[in-house]
Structure 1
Amino acid sequence: MSFGTSKHPIIPGRAEPSDKAEMVTQVLFGETYRVLETEKKWLLIEIEADSYQCWIDRKQHSEMSEGELKEAEFQSIKRCGDAIGQITDKVGKRFFIPCGSPLPAYHEGRFEVNGAHFEFDGRVARHDSESIIRHARRLLHAPYLWGGKTAMGIDCSGYTQVVTACAGISLPRDAWQQAEKGEAVDFIDLTEPGDLAFFDNSEGRITHVGIILENGKIIHASGSVRIDTLDHQGIYNEDIKAYSHKLRLIKRFTL
């Protein structure tokens, strides 16, 4: 088995080994993965952070040893806390990385990814009681994109996964998987800012998730990252004057 990391701002993760296939997730800069299978120019990978499997173009693969992967995982406790952060490599080339990108071996603005050294010009995500709400608001108005995990395009569960990662909480990739974690909050009156609310469809499947704010509001990715009203029925969308999502359950996540 071989291992790798992303030295690109994002790598599209696809459902099948084809450029035309559905993008189901993205590998963020600095995230690591295991290579499970090779098919021509494609690699089937399993992302270390959430065990999610997808296909990536092997031209975007940066190989690393198992020892390097384990070291990167041990060091990756810092993350980019800006909606979009800027980094500079050792020859002065600048490029941008998305919110939630790991910053392995971070120290005084410098970090390392698979032997490559970078300087980070931005805010490092802080793990405190207000971290989830702070990072949730930084991605406000980001457009919705199925499979997306960045300010340039993000889906509902990618949004909650990235935001909670910035707070030091590791969640699975999909909404239904996230709903299986955490501590249940039985009544909406007992919710706290930062709790996650999950919503189901007519068949009872969890299909949506958002982050509870203060004063009966919720922030979630639906068309874009937006703030709506939440009550015991679900999400009330002021634009359409109707409920858009039916509330199923609420979970609380702590470090």
Structure 2
Amino acid sequence: MQYGICNLNIVPVRVEPDDTSELVSQLLFGEQIKVLEKRKKWSRIRIAFDHYEGWVDNKQYLEISEEDYCLLESSAEELAVDLVDFAVQPNSQQLTPLSIGAKLNFIDRFQLQFDGRKIIGVQPKEHLLETAYLYLNSPYLWGGKTPFGIDCSGFTQMVYRLNGYHLFRDASQQAKQGEALSFIEESEPGDLAFFDNAEGEIIHVGIIMRDNYIIHAHGKVRIDRIDHSGIFNVDSNQYSHNLRVIKKII
């Protein structure tokens, strides 16, 4: 087994080993991976944080030892918390851009210096919404995980991750976590609401707010009304998503 770490700001993870293939997720700076298969140009990888699999360009990660991989796995995450920041190479003053959620645990191994704000460990549940607001108006991007483009489950995963909690990558996977609630009235800000299609498949997720509002990624990260039927879009004045279940994760 080979191991790697992302040494660039945002790296696409694709369905197939091709630059035109569908984006399914992204690697952020400092994330570690297992290399399941390596070809001339592409590697099939498994992301350590959520075990998501896909293909990345071999030029867009660095190999690390199993020892370093295990060390990263066992260490509390140190994550950048500003929307955009940078690290600097002291000798050359060359800058490396960093997006919110960049993992900083091994940054010294890249001979980089980071003087920005970071967060370590578990934060109180009430901090979830404060983090969610940072992504407001971020454009929707299937497979995205940053303020420059993010999907619904990438949004919820990153908000929870930045507060020290673990969510899986897809909405259908996240829906299997936590404790189901019977009514919206039982929910607290920070709980997750899941929505299904006509076939009963979970296709969307958002974060419950106070007073029957929800923040979610739909076209952009936005705030809408929610009731027992689903999400009521305040711009179109119609329901956009059918409520399936509300889950208390923490």
For this structure pair, what is the TM-score category when the shorter chain's length is used for normalisation? Answer: over 0.9
Q: Give the alignment partner of residue 128 of structure 1, picking from 124, 137, 142.
A: 124
SS at match of 1:72: helix
Task: Please show how residues 53-202 of structure 1 align to structure 2 within 5 Å.
Answer: 53-91=53-91, 92-104=93-105, 111-112=107-108, 114-124=109-119, 127-202=123-198
Task: Give the aligned residue type for 1:101.
Answer: A
RMSD of aligned C-alpha atoms? Answer: 1.5
How far off is 1:128 after superposition? 1.9
Q: How far apart are the structure 1 equivalents of 2:24 and 2:214?
A: 24
Q: Which residue of 2 aligns with 1:8?
A: 8
Deviates more, 1:92-101 or 1:225-234: 92-101
Give the direction of change, closer, same or farther, for the CA distance of 1:86–1:122 in structure 2 (3 Å limit): farther
Q: How far apart are the structure 2 equivalents of 1:194 and 1:249?
A: 14
Preserved contact between residue 140 and residue 221 of structure 2 (Cα < 8 Å): yes
Preserved contact between residue 99 and residue 162 of structure 1 (Cα < 8 Å): no
Q: How far apart are the structure 2 equivalents of 1:251 and 1:38?
A: 38
SS at match of 1:121: coil
Q: How far apart are the structure 1 equivalents of 2:124 and 2:78?
A: 13
Q: Which residue of 1 aligns with 2:24?
A: 24
Task: Give the aligned residue type for 1:38.
Answer: K
Q: Which residue of 2 aligns with 1:222?
A: 218
Preserved contact between residue 89 and residue 119 of structure 1 (Cα < 8 Å): no
Moved beyond 6 Å, runs of 4+: none
Q: TM-score, normalised by structure 1?
A: 0.93
Q: How far apart are the structure 2 equivalents of 1:218 and 1:240?
A: 16
Q: TM-score, normalised by structure 2?
A: 0.95
Preserved contact between residue 86 and residue 96 of structure 1 (Cα < 8 Å): yes
Preserved contact between residue 86 and residue 122 of structure 1 (Cα < 8 Å): no
Q: How far apart are the structure 2 equivalents of 1:207 and 1:120?
A: 39
How far off is 1:103 after superposition? 1.9
Q: Which residue of 2 aligns with 1:108?
A: none
Preserved contact between residue 80 and residue 116 of structure 2 (Cα < 8 Å): no
Query: What per-residue deviation string (whole Å, max 9, x for no partner) do you get for residues 54-81 of structure 1?
Result: 1000011201001011112223422112
Deviates more, 1:114-123 or 1:87-96: 114-123
